Chain A
Amino acid sequence: MPGPLEGIRIIEMGQLIAIPFSMKMLADMGAQVIRLESTGRLESYRSDSVYKNDISGDFWNKGANFYEQNRNKLGVTLDLGKPEGLGIIKELIAVADVFSENFTPRVIKNFGLEYEDVKKIKPDIIMVSSTGYGFYGPWSHFGATGPATEGAAGLAYQTGYAGSNDPVMSEIPYTDYTSGEHTVFAVMAALMHRLRTGQGQFVDISQTQATSATIPEILMDYSANGRTSPRIGNQDTVMSPHGCYQCQGDDRWITIAVANDEEWQGLCKVLGRDDWASDTRFKDSLSRWQHRDELDALIGPVTNSWVAHDLMTALQKAGVAGGVVMDSKDLLFDPHLVERNFYEVVSHHESTGIPPLPYAGRPWKLSKTPAVPGMAAPLMGEHNHMILGDLLGKSAEEMADLEEAGIIGYGPTTPRPVQRPPMEEQIRQGRMQRFETDFEEQVRNRFPA
């Protein structure tokens, strides 16, 4: 069945996550996303975390992060430094519904691809720019990464262990996703408006702003009460116990959140501590919360003897919100996610040597217009002929000239692979928790092609 966005064409000049992730979500739902890449300035996700850390051959077609963010897209390479390359972008914009990019405003201005320019090529275009701090304003020309905007937005400041002076930051570009999720919504809102009125517009995504919009607990408290609360770690402002407790094994943990007396009784029973259930310090929600540090100190040593997954099952059976802190492997093989078909097996081009692999899907399931089947992210230049030839009508001769002049290509002009240290060294450095040598077989058995 077709996705709901069948017939919508999107030109993407994206890099890393913020725009590529959101355009992937739209591509999954049926939009045709044509991703433009530069041969001169290789997208760094193409050359990092390559399959089995093997940087031989066309390493730029083997990067995990690239495949993760670019499913279901068509790939065209262009030398953006040459006027002919920019000319082709404009030809593509002329036949597109949406043009999206996440360069800094300075770069887009230099390309002559600001909304005012683009609108002249396609009057009803929806243009989406995603930048760290927004397309205008004193910080607009500042480049940014996920961590920078997580800091600027106010989210990092409030996150941290109880009593600690140090904020804690996500270890992935978290706000790329927060803003990316808002970008999907913004594009859909603009498409709804265009459907009704025929008008396009400019959507200016500030990754910081989108993130600040998700922390009213922090910003409204400051705005209304002038108050900045201390960091509270995994504790809650109302619930107790509410935290992350150690389980059996190396670096295994469970989270538990108790909302009422019934759940508290359930927790005590599962942990075999009836004495806690009758302890007056813990008799109701308020007194448990007042004694939350004592409670947390008591629980860890008891959960310690449990296997995390067993404890989760026992707690949920007793009506208590308990959840395993899932690592990479738990997530991939999680029976619930697998049964819901959350992962989608994608086949890669045979030249890459990558077998079919599962990738994370989407957080939504639409009953009548589900997603389109997953196609792997494009090889560099994989769809040059399809898009420039078939769609823009360039002749074989013109295509040959473009190749000859280096306007289009099939690999980076200056290949620079990133060699990660051997896995044993990554574990010693603490970047990875462990390494399982039979992973290929495990993945293949669980997710047959």
Chain B
Amino acid sequence: MTQRVTERALDGVKVLDLTHHITGPYCTKLMADFGAEVLKVERPGGDPSRRMAPFLNDDIHPEKSLVFAYLNTNKQSITLNLKSEKGLQLLKSLIEQTDVLVENFSPRVMTSLGLDFGALEKINPGLVMTSISNFGQTGPYRDYKAADIVEYAMGGLMYISGAYDREPLKHAFNQAQFKAGTDGASATLMAMYHQRLTGEGQHIDISIQEAVATGLRDVVNNFTYSGAVRRRQPNHSGDLSRLRASSDGHIIPNPGIGAGLNWNVMVEFMGIPELGGDKFNSPSARLANAEELGQILDDYFIKQNKYERFYAAHEKRFIFGVVQSPEEVMADPQFEARNFFVDIDHPALGTLKYPGAPFEMSGTPWEARTAAPALGQHNLEVIGQKLGHSPEDLAQMRANQII
């Protein structure tokens, strides 16, 4: 055995991962990347995200999905047909030995397989079972269908996103799925903390809709505090944190937070005399003259270079931001200094740069120990060696399409 250089935060935590697509795999990826032992159980055809674009060189191949490769680092993969008696039996022996089971089927599925929490806690009383679903395990929408856009809409983020005079707009790709995956990982560790102290397991119900609806700042409070329904903001709302076009992209020229801002320094920095005087020099005045302020800022920033203004602003401690393209993100000196992008070598993908640690831990750092597994890569090791089945048994199972 090789000597370990670092400690891992979740050393000794065993996770049985029945998840697919994005939200569940991100939940278990977070745990795997910080040291949990994650065993991914795939249907014989594989996690559907193996067929999710983008692929390396657009080559549609189950080992070449880039999203799958990202979401499944540090995991092992076995295949099991849960619709077969033998497959279920093997799964139950794995459940006996795990701390955590994570799944993101629609709410009826686990029960229909006889794998509801009530049944599983009899096999393993300390089991923490985490179920992530579109709308949770209860309630009138329990069996509603959804995609990320539907969760965005029903979670309340979409109504306030986009242009004032156009249809609401969702964020690119799969943000609702990632939110719920992160929440699933947090809640799982809360339950694991309790389990390590008391031996008691429990069932966790995560709703993707609620994951979105938890992070809306004052959208709901606008109604409870003032009877107002907030909407998408017009361009000239005067909100200083709004995006403005620059000559070479976009900049977020937010000078500072609330009362801490010295407006006159800002006016001088931008060199726009019209912004001086009483009209704009307090938050209340800026709200009252919002439209005019918005127009002045638009006219100014369209002539500026975004990085030049960004760095110059920070000299003055104005908290400006820049909108970066993927190319600019990957060349970002801050990410570079923090080694955010890491090289991972994968048999079918070769060595590629992946987004790395979402945050840093000084004592137990994020690690890419292994690339995403090939489908069923660990059948022999896990079902054969760990569960004690002979190579003949395995051949038999393969012939019967159990693995």
List chain B residues, Cβ under 8 A from A254: 153
A134-160 Cβ-contact flags toward B at 8 Å (1 or 0): 101111111111111111111111111
List chain A residues, Cβ under 8 A from B228: 328, 423, 426, 432-435
Given A147-B243, A435-B226, the answer on whether A418 and B164 have CB atoms closer than 8 Å is no
List chain A residues, Cβ under 8 A from B362: 115, 201-204
Are B160 and A171 in contact, with the CB atoms below 8 A? yes
List chain A residues, Cβ under 8 A from B218: 49, 64-65, 68
Distance from A414 Cβ to chain B, minimum over Cβ atoms (Å): 8
B residues 221-251 in Cβ contact with A at 8 Å: 221-234, 237, 241-243, 245, 250
Given A364-B206, A430-B234, the answer on whether A145 and B217 have CB atoms closer than 8 Å is no
Distance from B211 Cβ to chain A, minimum over Cβ atoms (Å): 4
Chain A: interface residue count, which band?
35 or more
Are A323 and B151 in contact, with the CB atoms below 8 A? yes
Other-chain residue from B169, B172, B221, B355 in contact with A244 (beta carbon distance below 8 A): B169
Check: A282 CB closer than 8 A to any chain B CB. Answer: no
B residues 275-300 in Cβ contact with A at 8 Å: 283-284, 287-288, 290-291
A39-79 Cβ-contact flags toward B at 8 Å (1 or 0): 00110100111111100000000001101100000000000
Complex CA–CA separation, A421 to B193 (angstroms): 48
Apart from A179-B359, A323-B144: 14 A-B pairs, beta carbons within 8 A: A44-B258, A53-B226, A64-B221, A64-B222, A145-B241, A193-B8, A220-B67, A222-B326, A228-B325, A327-B159, A327-B229, A331-B216, A363-B210, A365-B205
Are A152 and B321 in contact, with the CB atoms below 8 A? yes
Are B337 and A224 in contact, with the CB atoms below 8 A? no
Are A366 and B191 in contact, with the CB atoms below 8 A? yes
Given A139-B334, A209-B340, A217-B173, the answer on whether A172 and B227 have CB atoms closer than 8 Å is no
Given A369-B194, A421-B287, the answer on whether A225 and B54 have CB atoms closer than 8 Å is yes
Are B340 and A65 in contact, with the CB atoms below 8 A? no
Please report whether the interface of chain B is mostly helix, strand, loop or mixed according to DSSP: mixed
Other-chain residue from B216, B250, B259, B356 in contact with A151 (beta carbon distance below 8 A): B250
Distance from B307 Cβ to chain A, minimum over Cβ atoms (Å): 11
Are B358 and A213 in contact, with the CB atoms below 8 A? yes
Check: B190 CB closer than 8 A to any chain A CB. Answer: yes
Other-chain residue from B70, B151, B221, B237 in contact with A431 (beta carbon distance below 8 A): B237
Check: A210 CB closer than 8 A to any chain B CB. Answer: yes
Are B215 and A177 in contact, with the CB atoms below 8 A? yes
Check: B382 CB closer than 8 A to any chain A CB. Answer: no
Chain B: interface residue count, which band?
35 or more
Complex CA–CA separation, A233 to B162 (angstroms): 10
Complex CA–CA separation, A338 to B60 (angstroms): 43
Complex CA–CA separation, A100 to B218 (angstroms): 23
Pick from A160, A242, A322, A367 the residue with the most CB of B within 10 Å.
A367
Distance from B324 Cβ to chain A, minimum over Cβ atoms (Å): 6
List chain A residues, Cβ under 8 A from B190: 4-5, 29, 188, 364, 366, 369
Are B222 and A328 in contact, with the CB atoms below 8 A? yes
List chain A residues, Cβ under 8 A from B338: 134, 136-137, 206, 209
Are A430 and B164 in contact, with the CB atoms below 8 A? yes
Pick from A137, A138, A195, A336 the residue with the most CB of B within 10 Å.
A336
Are B337 and A138 in contact, with the CB atoms below 8 A? yes
Check: B158 CB closer than 8 A to any chain A CB. Answer: yes
List chain A residues, Cβ under 8 A from B18: none
Check: A271 CB closer than 8 A to any chain B CB. Answer: no
Distance from A14 Cβ to chain B, minimum over Cβ atoms (Å): 13
Complex CA–CA separation, A183 to B182 (angstroms): 10
Distance from A59 Cβ to chain B, minimum over Cβ atoms (Å): 13
Are B217 and A220 in contact, with the CB atoms below 8 A? no
List chain A residues, Cβ under 8 A from B245: 166
A residues 333-376 in Cβ contact with B at 8 Å: 334-337, 339-340, 342, 357-369
